[in-house]
Structure 1
Amino acid sequence: MIPFDDMDSLPETPLPQWWEDMLLLLRDVGLKALAVAIIIVSCVVIGLILRVVIRRVVHRIVDTAKNKASVDDTQALERSPLADMRLVQRTRTLGTILQNIVNVMLVVIAIVLVVNALSPSLLGSLTLLTAAVGAGLGFGAQNIVKDVLNGMFIVAEDQIGIGDVVDLGLASGVVEYVSVRITQVRDVNGTLWYVRNGEVTRIGNMSQGWARAIIDIGVPIDSDLEQVEHTMLETAQGLAKDPKWRTRIVEKPELWGLESVGGEALVVRIVVKTRANAKDDVAQELRRRLRAALIEKEIAVPSLVDVVPTGLDGARRVRGANPPRTRPNAVTGVPVIPDRGIWRRKKQSDDGSTQK
């Protein structure tokens, strides 16, 4: 039996080599796992913070536009200044784009940091592999990159917006949807065109600023030209002073006079500068009034021609083309939609009264 006093003098038994290797391995694995966990948690937290910041900025801009217009829904902004409505659309689209860019960047940064934490020697190989894959994807998906970049400029520069009447070269009509890759345009026949933003080289927007209604009237060759011009100008000025129409006309009507002389008719031109979305209505009403005024003066009217100088036959305004109601997404959240009544056919009771 060994005395207690001699216990301290016993030689220490060294640990087996495999046990030391196991402890070192567990330590390295634990440190790497901790580093990976810290990286992932940090990226998630940063992503959530940026998401909240982007959402608040978008909400602040949208709420400012709505409060300025005293409305609660995006569609109601159509009755407010056009700039407010377009600001809402552009802000929400750019907010979604910015959020997607932030998500992609955080994922890429997290992958690089995780690989570097697990094995720094693999980072160089991963960089070369990523460069090769990126070059291949860039060459094969260059059209997609072109579409996205062009779409970002289209949205950021407010070149087009939902509800605009545009000519994209490839299609003309009313814009129903705009994204960073494609634009949806519905033409006058009802066909919905999907136009890639990368294929758009020019944009003609007839819903921004002002428009001009140009009307040519053909009268008999022996007509009194001064009387015709006076009647046309007086009629157009009367339309501009009408309380129903004066808000849609931005300048006084102009008589451009004799446009051409044919074998059977004199063509006289009159123009009216209108708001962009009121051109067709003003032109239609002016043609109706001109015809009535000339007939009252006993001047025959062989033809009334509405001139479209740019030749955009299919890009006329489609009635009822309104901006869509607010749609919920990751940035804007769920909007408040007022309750709507449901229309039902009226039923007639036995006593002759109508009931729903």
Structure 2
Amino acid sequence: MPDFTNPEWWAQVGQFFASVGWNLLTVAGIIVGAMVVAWIFQRMIARIVTRIVSGAKDKANVDDTMALDRSPLAAVRLVQRTRTLGSILRNIVNVSIVVIAALMIVNLLAPTALGSLTLLTAAVGAGLGFGAQNIVKDILNGIFIVAEDQIGIGDVVDLGLATGIVEYVSVRVTHVRDVNGTLWFVRNGEILRIGNMSLGWSRVIIDLAVPADADIPEVEGAMLEAARGLAKDPKWRTRILEAPEVWGLESVSGDALVIRLVMKTRAGAKDDVARELRMRLKNAIDGLGLTLPQLNSIMLTGLEGASRVRGANPPKTKPTQIAPQAAAGAVWKPKKKPRGAAHPAPAPEDETP
């Protein structure tokens, strides 16, 4: 039973309430300080993001970020990457400040509890880390993908797991819509390689197969003329970056010769240019009176793709006709097949007496 008449007891009670009040004031100060620090960092991050986005809008001469779709792609990618990184930084700041403030409060109210909870905290952290390692991997990989601008909204990409147009990029998941309309959700931690077909430039590679008896220089000239006509067309010249090239005879078979034509285009215009170029090549070859066995578009891969990435300028050489070995002392001259003839020319007669 406490002795209410004892002054020492009242002094202990006053000291207890004073310590409790001081602890409460300290906790309130820690919370207020954490909120102030969080507010300062939030304002700094928001200010930096706003300045970068405003600079992109001013440079593109637009008032709304939605209108950046009509501006260069770099501005759109810059705004998207800046906002994503700003969101990541805000989350990191908030979590860090909350954790630090919580540790300070626990250390103030129960100084010995923090040490006793060390093993429990380590065990819980290890369990959560093991269970959430995939999430951490996704987030870290997503941060690098966004920070390094490897992909952006609207890019045509090959992620290995899915191929299509990127519709959304976050720090954990990337949304890719394929040509069939299927929306793929690809975890960033599962992405081992990224093939971005929307950056820089692309190359249209078309292999044109012509009959084995066709005049190669004439066919190459017709192909090059058709491709140059496409490059000069006002509708298409803005999508073509360099003059077309004929890389020459690619392969020879018993019934066809394959000649390769290439054209460097903007990244997003490759398919449209390839369709128009195939149509013009078909018309040009029809004008020569030849029948096309096949007309293929080629995608070079592996070592062949790496060796051809810088292009090629093959020397212009005329094919050398090699006469078959005739009888001893006999001289045989090949007869040219008249263009458009339905039947092959008769074989030369043996001049040996």
* TM value normalised by structure 2: 0.81
Letter of the 2:47 counterpart: R
Question: C-alpha displacement at 1:17, in angstroms?
Answer: 4.1
Indicate yes or no: 2:186 matched with 1:174: no
CA distance in 2, matches of 1:77, 1:273: 26
Q: What are the Cα deviations for residues 89-145 of structure 1, in whole angstroms up to 9, with x where unaligned?
A: 111110111111111001101101111121222222234332221111111211111
1:338 match: none
Aligned with residue 114 of structure 1, among 81, 105, 126: 105
Indicate yes or no: 2:221 matched with 1:230: yes
Aligned with residue 299 of structure 2, among 308, 312, 327: 308
Question: C-alpha displacement at 1:235, in angstroms?
Answer: 1.2
Which ranges in structure 2 are unaligned for 5 or more consecutive residues?
303-353
2:264 match: 273
CA distance in 2, matches of 1:236, 1:273: 11
Letter of the 2:103 counterpart: V
Q: What are the Cα deviations for residues 253-292 of structure 1, in whole angstroms up to 9, with x where unaligned?
A: 1111111112322111111111111111111111111112
CA distance in 2, matches of 1:118, 1:281: 70
Letter of the 1:45 counterpart: V
Aligned with residue 68 of structure 1, among 59, 68, 84: 59
Q: How many pairs does the alignment contain?
A: 299
CA distance in 1, matches of 2:244, 2:71: 25
Indicate yes or no: 2:250 matched with 1:250: no
Distance change in 2, residues 1:73/1:231 (3 Å)? farther
CA distance in 1, matches of 2:27, 2:9: 27
Aligned with residue 284 of structure 1, among 275, 297, 308: 275
Letter of the 2:96 counterpart: M
Letter of the 1:161 counterpart: G
Question: C-alpha displacement at 1:56, in angstroms?
Answer: 1.4
Give 1:187-266 correspondences, 5 Å limit: 187-266=178-257
Q: Classify the secondary structure of the residue corresponding to 2:117.
A: helix
Q: Which runs of 4+ in 1 moved over 6 A?
A: none
Letter of the 1:184 counterpart: H
1:37 match: 28
Question: C-alpha displacement at 1:16, in angstroms?
Answer: 4.0
Distance change in 2, residues 1:172/1:149 (3 Å)? same
Letter of the 1:193 counterpart: W
Distance change in 2, residues 1:186/1:117 (3 Å)? same
Give 1:50-89 correspondences, 5 Å limit: 50-89=41-80
Give 1:130-169 correspondences, 5 Å limit: 130-169=121-160
Give 1:311-330 correspondences, 5 Å limit: none
Give the share of equivalent positions with the same residue, in percent.
66
CA distance in 2, matches of 1:16, 1:68: 77
Q: Classify the secondary structure of the residue corresponding to 1:102.
A: helix
Q: Which 10-residue stretch deviates more, 159-168 or 133-142? A: 133-142
The structure whose Rg is larger is: 2
CA distance in 1, matches of 2:104, 2:191: 39
CA distance in 2, matches of 1:235, 1:121: 85
Q: What are the Cα deviations for residues 11-48 of structure 1, in whole angstroms up to 9, with x where unaligned?
A: xx974444222212111110010000001011111111
Letter of the 1:173 counterpart: G
| Bigger relative CO (Cα 8 Å, ≥ 6 apart) | 1
Letter of the 1:152 counterpart: I
CA distance in 2, matches of 1:267, 1:77: 44
CA distance in 1, matches of 2:294, 2:180: 25
Q: Which 10-residue stretch deviates more, 261-270 or 163-172? A: 261-270
CA distance in 2, matches of 1:82, 1:268: 35
CA distance in 1, matches of 2:254, 2:275: 27
In angstroms, what is the RMSD of aligned CA positions?
1.7
CA distance in 2, matches of 1:73, 1:282: 32
Indicate yes or no: 2:80 matched with 1:102: no
Q: What are the Cα deviations for residues 284-313 of structure 1, in whole angstroms up to 9, with x where unaligned?
A: 1111111122212322223221112249xx
CA distance in 2, matches of 1:258, 1:91: 49
Letter of the 1:156 counterpart: A
* TM value normalised by structure 1: 0.80
CA distance in 2, matches of 1:280, 1:127: 61
1:125 match: 116
Letter of the 1:44 counterpart: M
CA distance in 2, matches of 1:40, 1:128: 26
CA distance in 2, matches of 1:80, 1:249: 19
Q: Classify the secondary structure of the residue corresponding to 1:180.
A: coil
Letter of the 1:296 counterpart: G
Question: C-alpha displacement at 1:216, in angstroms?
Answer: 1.1
